[in-house]
C-alpha cells in the first residue's frame, strides 16, 4: 500500500513525538528497499518498494543479512551513534527528512540529513550533509530535471501546488484566484491535485464525494456554493491532519484503505471503520497486504505444480485411450481366427494365403481376412487367437489404469478447488502438507529426531442455520476428518460428480428440517467447482452410506441411498451465523 502526502503528515507528527533526541543505533536493509532505522527507544521502518511505499514505527525487525549491502554499510559509517534532531516533511508531499547530528574525532558536531522519497517506482533514499550536498544515494539517477549522484546538491522533486498547511493560511481568496486563473475546461480533479500537494487518489475521491461532483467536472460548472464548499472541505482536512490517528477501512472482500480523514464514500460501500494510532494502522494494513501477497504467491506455486500434474495425467489418459481403441479390435481378431478354423477344410492346408474369403455362419455374409503369407492357415489362426487374448488382457489393465487416473484427476481438481477457497496461512499449510504426503511435493527433511515442529491445522468452516450447525471441510484431509468425527446418522452432502467440500449437518439426534438440508446443499454448491454456476445438483445421504474405498486418496468417497437437491450456491454468507 502506498501512502499520500497528507497521510505522511500525520505519521511525521507521531515520529517527532516518539523519536526526538533518540540515538540511532543501527541501519539495516534485510531486503532491497526495506530500511530499518533502529533508534534507542523505537524502530523506524520505511519501505521504498514500488508497490509498497510507507513508513511507520515498529517493534519488529527482520533478520539482517550476513553481508550487508555496500550502501547500508555507508549509512552505518555516517549515521550510527548519531542523535535525531528533527523529523520533517517537505510541503505536504511524500518526502520525509531526518536530521541527525554526531561528533567527529575532534569533538565537532556534524549534521547529516536523510531524505526518504516515497514515490512509487521513483522512491529513493538520499544521504546528504548539512548543506544538502549528496554523500550517496540508494538508487543513483540522472535525468533532465535533476541528478541524484554524490557531490550534487539535493533538490527534492516536488509536486505542483502549495502545502495543505499553507492553504490554511491563504484560504478562500487563494482558491478563488486560482480558479479564475485556470482554464474553464480544466477538470476539477486535476485542478485540486495541481493546487494542493499530497492529496492522493482515495482522498481526492472523498473530496469529490463530499462536493457531490465527479472528477471530470469542468471548473466552469462550479458555482459560488461549490467553491465555498471546497474551501470548507480543505479547511476541515487541515484540522483532521492535526489528529494523532488514522482511519482504517476494511471491506468484506479484504480491501483496505487508510486515511487521515473520514471516508464517507467508503462507509457508503459498507466498509468497516476503525481508528488507530498512525504507525499501528500502517503496520496492521500492510501486514495484511503482505500476508495476502505471500499467500497469493504461494498459491500460484502450488497451482503451477497441480497444473503440471494434471497435464501429465491427462496426457497419460489420452495415450491409454489410444491403447483402449486398439484393444477393442480383440473381438474381431478372435472372430476372424474362429472363421479361419471353421472354414479351413475348404482350403489347401499346405498352401500359404495372403487373403481368403470365408462365410460368416451367423450373418451368412462373405468376410475377407488378410493373412501373413509367411504362415499357413492354422498358424495364422493361432496367431490371431494369441493376439486377441493379449489385447483382452491389455484392455483389463488399461481400464484399471484409466479408472485410477480419472480418480487421480478428480483428486487433483479437489485440491485445486480447495486452493481457490484458501484464505489463511494455516489453510495453505494444510494443502501443502497434503501435497507432500501424496508425493506432489518433495517432503521436508527432518534434521533432528523428535525436534519436528508441531503443525497447527486449520479448522473446518462452521455455520449455524435455524439452530443447526453445518460443517464444511476446507480441504481433502479435513473432508476425511469430519466424515469420521460425526455420528453415522448425520446427513452428508456433496456436489454431484464435481470436486468440492464435504458438508455435514450436526443434528445432535434432532430431526433436520428440509430447509436446513437445502441450506447445507447450497453450501456444498458454494464450496465446490460449481460455485459460479446456477442449478447445481447436490447429492445427500446419511454418513452410514458413505464409504472410503481402500487405497483411495484423501477426500474420496463412494455413496449410495442418496437423494439430490438442485440448488443455487449461497452467494452471501452473511445470512448465516458463523460458529
- Per-residue pLDDT tens, the chain, 579 aa: give them: 789 999 999 999 999 999 999 999 999 999 999 999 999 989 999 999 888 899 999 988 888 888 889 999 999 999 999 999 999 999 889 999 999 999 988 889 999 999 999 998 899 999 999 999 999 999 999 988 899 999 999 999 877 888 888 888 888 999 999 999 998 899 999 999 899 888 989 999 999 999 999 989 999 999 999 999 999 999 998 888 888 999 999 887 778 899 999 999 999 988 999 999 999 999 888 888 777 778 888 889 999 999 999 999 999 988 888 877 777 788 788 888 888 888 888 888 778 888 888 888 888 888 888 888 888 888 888 888 888 888 888 878 888 888 888 888 888 988 888 888 887 788 888 888 888 888 888 877 654 544 445 556 778 999 999 999 999 999 998 999 999 999 999 999 999 999 999 999 999 899 999 999 999 999 999 999 998 888 999 999 999 999 998 888 888 899 999 999 999 998 877 667 665
Go through the chain and tell me how many residues it has.
579
Q: φ and ψ at 143, to 5 degrees?
A: -130, 180
Closest CA relative to residue 214, chosen from 226, 223, 205: 205
Bridge partners of 566, per DSSP, are 537
Residue 575 confidence (pLDDT): 66
Q: What is the gyration radius of the CA atoms in the chain, in angstroms?
A: 37
Q: CB–CB of 526/474 below 8 Å?
A: no
Sign of CA dihedral 328, 332, 334, 335: positive
> Locate cell 472372430: which residue?
335
| CB distance 35 to 96 below 8 Å | no
The pLDDT of residue 24: 95
pLDDT for the residue numbered 577: 66
Confidence (pLDDT) at 391: 81
pLDDT at 288: 80
Question: Using CB atoms within 10 A of its CB, is residue 18 exposed (0-12), middle (13-18) or buried (19+)?
Answer: middle
Q: What gap in Å lies between CA 20 and CA 87, rounded to an integer?
A: 8
User: How far, in Å, CA of 208 to CA of 187, rounded?
Assistant: 12
Residue 241 and residue 12: Cα distance in Å, rounded?
11
Three cell numbers, residue 177: 484566484
pLDDT for the residue 489:
93
Amino acid at each position: 500500500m502506498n501512502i499520500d502526502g497528507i497521510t505522511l503528515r500525520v505519521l511525521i507528527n507521531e515520529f517527532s513525538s516518539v523519536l526526538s533526541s533518540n540515538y540511532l543505533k543501527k541501519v539495516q536493509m534485510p531486503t532491497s528497499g526495506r530500511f530499518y532505522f533502529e533508534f534507542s527507544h523505537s524502530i523506524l521502518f520505511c519501505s521504498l518498494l514500488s508497490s509498497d511505499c510507507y513508513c511507520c514505527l515498529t517493534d519488529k525487525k527482520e533478520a539482517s543479512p550476513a553481508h550487508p549491502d555496500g550502501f547500508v554499510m555507508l549509512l552505518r559509517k555516517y549515521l550510527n551513534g548519531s542523535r535525531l534532531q528533527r523529523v520533517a516533511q517537505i510541503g505536504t508531499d511524500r518526502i520525509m527528512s531526518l536530521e541527525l547530528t554526531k561528533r567527529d574525532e575532534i569533538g565537532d558536531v556534524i549534521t547529516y540529513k536523510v531524505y526518504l522519497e516515497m514515490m512509487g517506482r521513483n522512491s529513493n533514499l538520499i544521504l546528504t550533509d548539512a548543506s544538502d550536498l549528496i554523500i550517496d544515494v540508494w538508487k543513483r539517477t540522472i535525468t533532465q530535471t535533476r541528478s541524484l549522484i554524490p557531490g550534487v546538491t539535493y533538490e527534492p522533486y516536488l509536486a505542483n501546488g502549495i502545502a495543505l498547511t499553507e492553504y490554511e493560511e491563504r484560504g478562500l481568496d487563494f482558491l478563488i484566484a486560482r480558479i479564475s486563473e485556470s482554464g474553464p475546461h480544466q477538470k476539477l480533479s486535476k485542478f485540486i491535485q495541481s493546487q494542493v500537494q499530497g492529496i492522493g487518489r482515495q482522498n481526492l475521491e472523498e473530496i469529490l464525494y463530499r462536493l457531490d461532483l465527479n472528477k471530470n467536472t469542468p471548473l466552469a460548472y462550479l458555482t459560488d456554493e461549490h467553491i465555498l464548499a471546497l474551501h470548507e472541505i480543505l479547511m476541515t482536512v487541515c484540522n483532521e491532519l492535526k489528529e494523532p490517528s488514522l482511519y482504517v477501512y476494511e471491506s468484506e472482500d479484504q480491501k483496505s484503505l487508510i486515511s487521515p480523514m473520514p471516508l464517507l464514500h467508503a462507509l457508503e460501500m459498507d466498509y468497516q471503520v476503525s481508528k488507530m494510532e498512525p504507525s499501528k494502522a500502517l503496520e496492521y494494513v500492510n501486514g495484511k497486504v503482505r500476508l495476502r501477497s505471500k499467500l497469493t504467491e504461494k498459491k500460484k506455486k502450488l497451482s503451477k505444480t497441480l497444473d503440471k500434474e494434471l497435464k501429465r495425467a491427462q496426457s497419460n489418459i489420452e495415450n491409454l485411450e489410444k491403447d483402449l481403441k486398439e484393444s477393442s479390435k480383440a473381438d474381431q481378431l478372435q472372430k476372424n481366427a474362429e472363421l479361419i478354423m471353421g472354414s479351413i477344410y475348404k482350403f489347401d492346408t499346405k498352401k500359404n494365403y495372403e487373403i481368403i474369403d470365408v462365410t460368416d455362419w451367423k450373418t451368412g455374409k462373405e468376410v475377407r481376412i488378410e493373412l501373413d503369407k509367411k504362415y499357413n492357415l492354422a498358424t495364422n489362426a493361432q496367431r490371431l487367437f494369441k493376439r486377441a487374448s493379449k489385447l483382452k488382457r491389455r484392455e483389463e489393465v488399461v481400464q484399471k489404469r484409466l479408472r485410477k487416473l480419472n480418480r487421480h484427476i478428480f483428486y487433483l481438481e479437489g485440491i485445486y478447488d480447495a486452493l481457490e477457497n484458501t484464505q489463511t496461512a494455516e489453510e495453505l499449510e494444510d494443502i501443502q502438507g497434503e501435497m507432500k504426503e501424496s508425493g506432489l511435493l518433495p517432503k521436508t527433511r527432518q534434521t533432528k529426531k523428535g525436534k519436528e515442529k508441531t503443525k497447527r491445522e486449520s479448522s473446518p468452516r462452521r455455520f449455524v442455520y435455524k439452530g443447526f450447525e453445518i460443517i464444511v471441510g476446507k480441504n481433502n484431509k479435513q473432508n476425511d476428518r469430519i466424515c469420521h468425527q460425526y455420528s453415522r446418522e448425520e446427513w452428508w452432502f456433496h456436489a454431484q460428480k464435481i470436486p468440492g467440500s464435504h458438508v455435514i449437518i450436526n443434528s445432535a439426534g434432532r430431526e433436520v428440517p428440509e430447509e436446513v438440508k437445502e441450506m447445507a446443499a447450497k453450501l456444498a454448491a458454494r464450496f465446490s467447482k460449481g460455485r459460479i454456476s446456477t442449478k447445481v445438483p447436490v447429492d445427500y445421504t446419511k454418513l452410514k452410506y458413505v464409504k472410503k474405498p481402500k487405497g483411495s486418496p484423501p477426500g474420496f468417497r463412494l455413496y449410495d441411498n442418496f437423494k439430490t437437491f438442485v440448488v443455487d450456491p449461497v452467494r452471501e454468507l452473511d445470512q448465516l451465523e458463523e460458529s
